[in-house]
Amino acid sequence: MARHLITSAIPYINGIKHLGNLVGSQLPADLFARYQRARGNEVMFICATDEHGTPAELAATKAGQPVADYCAEMHLVQAQIAEGFGLSFDHFGRSSSEANKMLTQHFAVKLYENGLIEERSETQMYSPTDGRFLPDRYIEGTCPNCGFESARGDQCDNCTKQLDPVDLIKPHSTISGATDLEMRETKHLYLLQSKMKDQLEDWIDTREGWPILTTSIAKKWLTDGDGLQDRGITRDLSWGVPAQFDGAPWNGMDGKVFYVWFDAPIEYIACAQEWVDADKGNDWERWWRTDKGAEDVTYTQFMGKDNVPFHTLSFPATILGSNEPWKLVDYIKSFNYLNYDGGQFSTSRGRGVFMDQALDILPADYWRWWLLSHAPESSDAEFTWENFQVSVNKDLADVLGNFVSRITKFCRSKFGEEVPKGGATAAESAKSTDSHGHWLVFSIAKLLAEYEDQMQHMEVRKAAHTLRTIWATGNEYLQQFAPWSVYKEDPAAAAEIIRFSLNLARLFAVLSKPFIPSTSEKILRDLNCPDAGWPRENNSEEKLRANAVIEALSALPAGHSFTVPDVLFAKITDEQREEWQQRFAGVRD
């Protein structure tokens, strides 16, 4: 049994996330976690809310709440929405946890002891109007790299270049809009990333099979300009992990907190501690400490491309620089952007369909299927209502839903609500090369092998395409061998086709569960086999692959009772599409 540690980029606490956020990290991570569990592997799938930094403070101010209260409320909201989308986290934590505070301070001390943190005096932007220093997202201006006019003080959303507030052209305060900003001296802690450039480059070169998107972004940051830069890891803020604490090997950091991008990834580790503390698991160190068993763990991260630099460079610099036996990521699955109807999704600017709105109009599986089958893996993708309607109607309603409905209703009309007996077994039928059983077994076996390989390698869109092809094979089987026609001449032969088809419906539900878990569970309940498991281990040898399919086609024996399911997927009408297109024109209320 393999062991998989899976994390998705932790979402900011500042409001409900949009569909682009969902498909860029959490949803494909859930797909992979569900698949690995289905194959019998041990999984720890963790995520959290990112609660520190200026996004939290600004959102709380806008909401008129104390920041701690705002974060507690929004954590609950995000957790409930994640549950609504079927995200199967083993634990959904908070970066404001005591565990993360202790770990962040621990790493800072270790890095300081290893000569990788130093105190520096610097000048930073100060707003006399606001009466405070303005770090990170309290400042916006024009990006000096690409000219984007709404770049933030830490990063440009348009070109993803890492920035400091002093880099911006025509900066202004996001609090008051003031432009009379001035430079004043302050003191901060710096992580000396430049000292680790060679070590990080060597480490990245040892990562096998990473997506080109991931490695190209990482290496660009290592080599562009002057290469990897030292990074300030404290900020003049009141909300966050205190930078001055008992046991700190420095002084003068009172009133400062650690930079959110220093403490946030550490929450991955803290989240595992919280999971264990809540009696939901066993020793967390066997997942995170290579001296405690984590050397046998495969660690996979999922994230959008804007998060790649921090996970390939900054967080590994923290882990490697500590000189402690922490688990490093084995594979980073990164995604491009999902755009919305000719523009960009944006949480901060309220553009696009947000997760709560999506669940208000349709069940989660509609969205899960479209987002995963259109995942922006090799390039940016775009959500349009026309494409969404076509995909839902053709893939979910016409292919999967139609197959399950046709075969259960036809069986009920001729044999009642139980699996009919008669004809050959799946094994017997598969032996004859000119039989429908042989065609079905070997068609599904070939596709199953492709599907499992694509899922294992996190080829999300390819896996969705193969799964749809598996569904379509069921409809092709019914059309080609037409049990309704065979029944008139040979009821026993028709019963054989129906029995195989009912077992196909069961198999489709099992294979589809990582993509559309609620619908799959409904099909299995109606087929009276809620605990159905994945086909036994597939094998590259064609005969053994076929044997696994034969077993799957024999799982529901003659006499097994079932219930005809209700409509699995209602088609989206033109009227609904037009209404939603107008309602979600790109600006959130």
Task: Please report the pLDDT score of residue 1 as a whole number.
Answer: 87
User: pLDDT confidence of 444, banded at 50, 70, 90?
Assistant: very high
CA atoms within 13 A on the CB side of 427: 6
Low-confidence winner among 90-99, 157-166, 232-241, 410-419 (lowest mean pLDDT): 157-166
Residue 185's DSSP bridge partners are: 123
pLDDT greater than 90 at residue 275: no
The 8 Å CB, 24+ separation contacts for 152-160 are 153/125, 154/261, 155/306, 157/306, 157/346, 160/217, 160/305, 160/306, 160/309
| Contact by Cβ (8 Å): 117, 104 | no
The dihedral through the CA atoms of 193, 197, 199, 205 has a sign that is: positive
105, 45 contact by CB (below 8 A): no
Confidence of residue 277 (pLDDT cuts 50, 70, 90): low
Give SS3 for 553: coil
Contact 493, 530 (CB under 8 A): no
| Amino acid of residue 354 | F
Cα–Cα nearest to 153, from 131, 178, 170, 132: 170
Which tokens hold the place of 464? 């969705």
pLDDT tens digits for range 354-383: 999 999 999 999 999 999 999 999 999 999
Whole-number Å distance between alpha carbons of 302 and 211: 11
Instruction: Check the annotation: does 159 bind a ligand.
Output: yes
User: Would strands 117-127 and 139-142 be described as parallel, antiparallel, or unpaired?
Assistant: unpaired
Q: Residue 255 phi/psi, 5° resolution?
A: 80, 5
- Other CB atoms within a 10 A radius of the CB of residue 313 amount to 24
- Give the distance, in angstroms, between the CA of residue 463 and the centroid of all CA atoms in the same chain: 15
Which domains does the chain show, CATH number per domain?
Answer: 3-115+197-205+260-362 (3.40.50.620), 386-552 (1.10.730.10)
Give the mean model confidence (pLDDT) for residues 387-415: 98
Q: Which residue has the tokens 């001729």?
A: 414
Half-sphere exposure of 42 (CA within 13 A, CB side): 11
The reported pLDDT for the residue numbered 512 is 98
Which range among 26-40, 265-279, 362-376 shows the weakest confidence by mean pLDDT?
Answer: 265-279
Contact between residue 307 and residue 329 where contact means Cβ atoms under 8 Å apart: no
Edge to edge, the sheet with strand 381-383 lists 343-344, 338-340, 381-383
Q: Is 347 annotated as a binding residue?
A: yes
The whole-angstrom separation of Cα 442 and Cα 541 is 12
Q: How far, in Å, CA of 290 to CA of 295, rounded?
A: 5
Whole-structure pTM value: 0.92
Chain centre to alpha carbon of residue 231: 28
Supply the DSSP symbol for 50: B
Which residues sit opposite 339 in a β-bridge? 344, 382
CA distance 485 to 492: 12
Looking at the chain, the whole-number percentage of residues with pLDDT higher than 90 is: 80
Range of lowest pLDDT (209-223, 284-298, 311-325, 445-459): 209-223
How many other CB atoms are there within 10 angstroms of residue 484's CB atom? 14
**Statement: residue 226 has pLDDT above 90:** no
Q: Which positions ≥6 away from 208 have C-beta within 8 Å? A: none
pLDDT band per the 50, 70, 90 thresholds, residue 589: very low
**47: annotated binding-site residue?**
no
Residue 588's pLDDT is: 45
Q: What is the CA radius of gyration of the chain?
A: 27
DSSP state of 158: T
146 annotated ligand-binding residue: yes
> What Cα–Cα distance (Å) separates residue 99 from each residue in 94, 263, 503, 574?
9, 11, 48, 51
Strands 169-173 vs 151-152: parallel, antiparallel or unpaired = unpaired
| Cβ neighbours of residue 582 closer than 8 Å, sequence gap 6 or more | none
pLDDT confidence tier of residue 238, bands split at 50, 70 and 90: confident
Place of tokens 């046998």: 296
Beta carbons within 10 angstroms of residue 353's beta carbon: 24
* Mean pLDDT, all residues of the chain: 93
Residue 529 marked in a binding site: no
Give whole-number Cα distances, 84 to 29, 185, 513, in Å.
16, 48, 15
Strands 42-49, 91-94: parallel, antiparallel or unpaired by DSSP?
Answer: parallel
Which CA distances in Å does 191 have to 112, 361, 520? Answer: 9, 46, 48
pLDDT single digits (tens) 152-171: 888 888 887 878 888 899 99
What secondary structure letter does DSSP report for 402?
Answer: H
